[in-house]
Amino acid sequence: MGTLSGKTAVVTGSTSGIGLAYARAFAGAGANVVINGFGAPADIEKERAAIEKDFGVKAVYSPADMTKPDEIAGMVALGEKTFGAVDILVNNAGIQFVSPVEEFPIDKWNAIIAINLSSAFHGIRAAVPGMKKRGWGRIINTASAHSLVASPFKSAYVAAKHGIAGLTKTVALELATHKVTCNCISPGYVWTPLVERQIPDTMKTRNMTKEQVINDVMLDAQPTKEFVTPEQVAAFALFLCGDDAAQITGANLSIDGGWTAA
Ligand code: NAD
């Protein structure tokens, strides 16, 4: 019996990176999971089946597109219909685009605000009635160091992540007496396939070694000069789901190797 046995977790953007680590951590603690995100159907099915096989829980896949409010509500409904409840909601799906503000493509701005910010509102809106009714819930939003500080050329991402931090605080206050907590986790640079794939190109374009790319480009802002791992972020989320974290709500929790201390 894991600490989350009998509970159900919905994790958006869990076909890759940090989201997949969350889903596997919750499953490892005994929760049934709803996974979500894009990818090749065969790859997604492999991850879904591996969660069931590795942890002896049930996992279902929702193809909901985080730009579509009705599909997000459908994802929460799928969890409730399949498992009877959605106890844990992790709003994690996210994309990035980098451009000077005056050239920032309007469609990219709209997509980032929709996926990185509004999707969390729609998911919370759909999941809260059930959590209130049952008198227990955990809402965790993946924010970013960029919910606390800015970097140039990331106007949409920084705006969305600051927005997520504000949404987190508001929802926490509204649900404070319902035993439903709402927090955001703010990672610095996390070692995901997405980050790893950028290294060879940067080595070529800047004529740098792998170590120089990691330390002087990627980890320039991260004092430890080490990446956060998806598993460390997931372990933090798992702690937030436990009884020991019942009084942690409305918090913006950094896991960023000291980035935002500087
Ligand atoms: P990733 O690209 O590995 O995963 C993103 C996930 O979101 C994927 O499963 C993808 O399919 C899904 N997704 C994208 N658009 C979607 C849509 N429209 N509908 C449904 N799913 C969609 O990236 P990651 O690094 O694991 O990032 C996860 C979260 O962590 C994001 O919110 C990101 O902003 C945040 N974050 C990442 C880092 C980092 O360094 N990697 C740092 C801070 C915060």
Structure tokens at 241: 């789901």
Lowest mean pLDDT among 42-46, 77-81, 172-176, 221-225: 221-225
Q: CATH number of 8-188+229-250: 1.10.3720.10, 3.30.479.10, 3.40.50.720, 3.20.10.10?
A: 3.40.50.720
* 82-116 pLDDT tens trace: 999 999 999 999 999 999 999 999 999 999 999 99
- Kindly report the average pLDDT of the chain as a whole number: 96
Q: Determine the residue of 10, 24, 95 to mutate for testing ligand 1's pocket, defined as the one with the most ligand atoms within 8 A of the Cβ atom.
A: 95
pLDDT for the residue numbered 66 = 98
* 131-186 pLDDT tens trace: 999 999 999 999 999 999 999 999 999 999 999 999 999 999 999 999 999 999 99
Q: How far is 216 from 100, CA to CA, in rounded Å?
A: 22
pLDDT for the residue numbered 85 = 98
- Ligand 1 atom with minimal separation from the 65 CA: 19
Question: Are the C-beta atoms of 29 and 56 separated by less than 8 Å?
Answer: no
Q: Residue whose CA is closest, atom 32 of ligand 1?
A: 94
Ligand 1 neighbours (beta carbon < 6 A): 13-19, 36-39, 65-67, 92-95, 115-116, 142, 144, 187, 189-190, 192, 194-195
* 9-46 pLDDT tens trace: 999 999 999 999 999 999 999 999 999 999 999 999 99
pLDDT for the residue numbered 146 = 96
**Gap from CA of 92 to ligand 1 centroid (Å):** 6
As a whole-number percent, the residues of the chain with pLDDT over 90 amount to: 90
Structure tokens at 261: 């201390």
Q: What is this structure's pTM?
A: 0.97
Q: Would you place residue 197 in the very low, low, confident or very high pLDDT band (cuts 50, 70, 90)?
A: confident
Q: How far is 38 from 136, CA to CA, in rounded Å?
A: 30
Catalytic residue among 22, 61, 157, 189: 157
Where, residue-wise, is CATH 3.40.50.720 in the chain?
8-188+229-250
**Gap from CA of 1 to ligand 1 centroid (Å):** 30
On the question of pLDDT at 258 being above 80, the answer is yes
Residue 157 is a catalytic residue: yes
